Amino acid sequence: MKNKNHIKADNESFRGIGKLGWTESGKMKSTLSRLEATFEEERKFINKKNKTIVICPACHRKFHSNSGKLPKHKAYFWQYTNDENGYCSGKVSNSPKIVKKIDSAEINGETFHTHDKVMFMPYPHHNLFHAEKNEIIEGTIVFFYLMDDESIQIKFRDYPPVPIRYFNASKNFIKI
């Protein structure tokens, strides 16, 4: 028995009444919805292939999204968050401002003073120091800064200020 090659139009649905198979009626529905979407002002994502890449401004991670919205995601272990569960806020926080200079600070249970020479391995923050992954850096502490968010940052001679929490997490910061 032959299948009909025509579709009887029904005013209430995109799918017609007739003996067309599922694939033919599915093709017709997707074609009609694509044509209908061309007349709409707002962009509508129809199938999963039309995903866009969304970049989080806080942690710079990339996500694929149908709606163009940033999904809820966990922050990196070194990234500070106010959330109890460790989720990234998705917003760039204002950089903290310097309140005053401090002469000494405690890192990993040891007290360090200004003008101390130290050795450390900057991994996983080797990009801040423009170093290789397993490179050991020697540096001289110029200042300790107390910031307005009550954190402490270290200023080395040749590098920008770095939060102490980077060294507390890695536990590889020693005096020479």
pLDDT level of residue 123 (50, 70, 90 thresholds): confident
For residue 19, the model assigns a pLDDT of: 53
Is the pTM of the predicted complex or chain greater than 0.75?
Answer: no
The pair of structure tokens assigned to 39 is 């007349």
**What's the whole-number average pLDDT of the chain?**
77
> Does residue 86 share a domain with residue 23?
no
Q: How many domains is the chain partitioned into structurally?
A: 3
How many CB atoms neighbour CB 113 within 10 A? 12
> Does residue 165 share a domain with residue 114?
yes
Q: Give pLDDT tens digits for 157-171.
A: 878 888 888 887 777
Lowest mean pLDDT among 47-51, 84-88, 120-124, 133-137: 47-51
How would DSSP label each residue in 21-69?
A: -HHHHHHHHHHHHHHHHTT-SS----SGGG-EEEE-TTT--EEEESSSP
Expressed as residue numbers, the domain containing 106 is 98-175
Query: What value does the CA radius of gyration of the chain take, rounded to a whole number of Å?
Result: 29
Please give the share of the chain, as a percent, with pLDDT higher than 70. Answer: 73
> Does residue 71 share a domain with residue 103?
no
> Does residue 130 share a domain with residue 66?
no
Check pLDDT > 60 for residue 40.
Answer: yes
> Does residue 171 share a domain with residue 113?
yes
Instruction: Say how far apart CA 102 and CA 154 lie, in whole Å.
Output: 10
Provide the 8-state DSSP code for 96: P
Mean pLDDT of 95-101: 85
> Does residue 57 share a domain with residue 38?
no
Instruction: Say how far apart CA 127 and CA 107 lie, in whole Å.
Output: 21
Closest CA to 18 of 3, 29, 34, 31: 3
